[in-house]
Structure 1
Amino acid sequence: MTDDKNPTHTPKDAHYAKLRRAHRDRARGGPAPAADSRKKPPSRPAKPGPADRVRLYGLHTVEAALANPERRLHKLFATRNALNRLELDEAALPCPLELVEPRFLDSELGTDAVHQGVMLEADPLRARRLSDLGQSDLILVLDQVTDPHNVGALLRSAVAFGAGAVVTTSRHSPQESGVLAKSASGALELIPYVQITNLADALGEIAELGFQTIGLDSEGEGELEPSFAGERIALVLGSEGKGLRQKTRETVSVLARLEMPGAIRSLNVSNAAAVALYAARRFMGAKRAG
């Protein structure tokens, strides 16, 4: 029987007592609880790849690169499962294939890379110029947007809304890489990624090609939609933290803001670009319909 004055302690009681002691220790600046032995092991960085090549990974990224006639391919590494998911005919592949285990790709690409069982070694795409804009009526221009994840998302949105190019500076902008291509989810193969030396000069050249250059700025005097004019539009977006540089603000045709009635007054650059691209396409569609 259990004495009411001295009840028997159960394992559950001991567990909660341990938690209470740990809480008191933390409050007093004492020892923290022991680390969980099942804690995820530290991440390993990627190994350096062959010189003058890029390593592309992820199902959509590799599938798009394999289908791009402008991409010079060297070797495909894939697990059997990934090869089946890509639905590729091994006999018709445009480059040599090596079947591997997932741990091989982890060791080559680093444990943080979401490779989905596939990696492609290829040459970087050829450098593109403003002359490659062709008859594009809508482009994105980036003023030192440095995060490859953001630039990849921008490329994806640009393709989704039918933009003709993404223009950025050759310095303070990501070069072609596996991270950039994975974030773009295949879009890097579908749109010119134009890197220029001087952004102010490039904006002048873009304006001479008939583009209205609109800088997105939270302090812009007018809202974006009423600012649209003309047949060709270049949306100019600034870096993640500082926004547009002063020289860029002075060079664009107009500064405009995205009107946001909510408590948060700014968006991630890739989200802001998607909203602006949608608004520009709506304007162009209405103008053609009218």
Structure 2
Amino acid sequence: MSSSRERNAPWKGGKKGPQRPLNRKQDNVSDEWLWGWHAVSAALGNTARKAPERLLATADRTKEIEARFGRQKVLETLDPQVIGNHLPAGAVHQGVALRVPHLQAWGLDAFDAKPGAVLLMLDQVTDPQNVGAILRSAAAFGASGVILQDRHAPKLSGALAKAAAGAVDAIPSARVINLSRALEELAELGWRAVGLAGTAEKTLNQALNGEPTVLVLGSEGEGLRRLVAEHCDELARIDMPGGFESLNVSAAAAVALYEATRTRS
């Protein structure tokens, strides 16, 4: 006996018996995809990327892709709903989705510790929307790169890449196992670390001095962990005369990057 859900499903086919439901997700739904026009077009234009595995697009997006990037061997022109069936529920794909190998992470020694250079380090910031927004701000303000903790950071794909609006391919990123050791290595390479903490005595403006600087941000709930904070050269707070105690971590990153840009200028 079939269930109510089975009886009411919108089947194709009719007389010869039920076939696959129209709205059923495909078996290969994955969060490894990139979706959204900015994320996909940035990935297609990034020569550091390996060749894409699949590229799904609506008819209009197919024309845009071919006009901008030429013919793509893996391009499939599909209806918007069919594209959505390959993606997590709720993904706003804007008519395009790309499955491509992840970018290779940078080593810490690849970042040039030149005067005015700024890196961001994220201490257990795990929300994909926040990390995506931080990458976008880092690219906008000319940061040298972003350092993530390998086991406590989301993959640079899916919703994160959509929120980053192309910044995943515009800003270098590194993944490290231990942030404290990474700060020690960066110090040997000429970087100075400033950790953001709401209880710090100095303001960020007072702590920045134009030297190559790693801005270290903690998660919204816990802030910087003790060992990470102890490996910073200084702790500083964002001056907030309005009286609020803290900002969303992505907003704090944008403010910190703006302050660093002013110091650099």
If the length of structure 2 is used for normalisation, what is the TM-score? 0.84
Matches of 1:224 and 1:168, distance apart in 2: 21
More helix by share: 1
Q: Deviations over 1:42-69 (max 9, x none)?
A: x99885457xx93111000010000001
SS of the aligned residue for 1:235 comes to strand
**Rg larger in structure:** 1
Aligned residues: CA RMSD: 2.2
8 Å Cα contact 2:83-2:97 kept in structure 1:
yes
Look up the match of 1:252. 232
Aligned residue runs from structure 1 range 119-198, under 5 A: 119-135=97-113, 137-198=117-178
Aligned residue runs from structure 1 range 1-290, under 5 A: 48-49=28-29, 54-72=32-50, 73-84=52-63, 86=64, 88-89=66-67, 92-135=70-113, 137-285=117-265
- Pick closer, same or farther for the CA change 1:90–1:100 going to 2, 3 Å: farther
Look up the match of 1:30. none
Look up the match of 2:11. none
Unaligned runs of 5+ in 1: 1-42, 286-290
1:96, distance to aligned residue in structure 2 (A): 1.8
* Aligned positions, number: 240
- Greater relative contact order: 1 or 2 (C-alpha under 8 angstroms, separation 6 or more)? 2
8 Å Cα contact 1:65-1:71 kept in structure 2:
yes
- Pick closer, same or farther for the CA change 1:44–1:146 going to 2, 3 Å: farther
Unaligned runs of 5+ in 2: 1-22
Q: Deviations over 1:160-190 (max 9, x none)?
A: 1111110011011112221121111111111
1:197, distance to aligned residue in structure 2 (A): 0.8
1:122, distance to aligned residue in structure 2 (A): 0.7
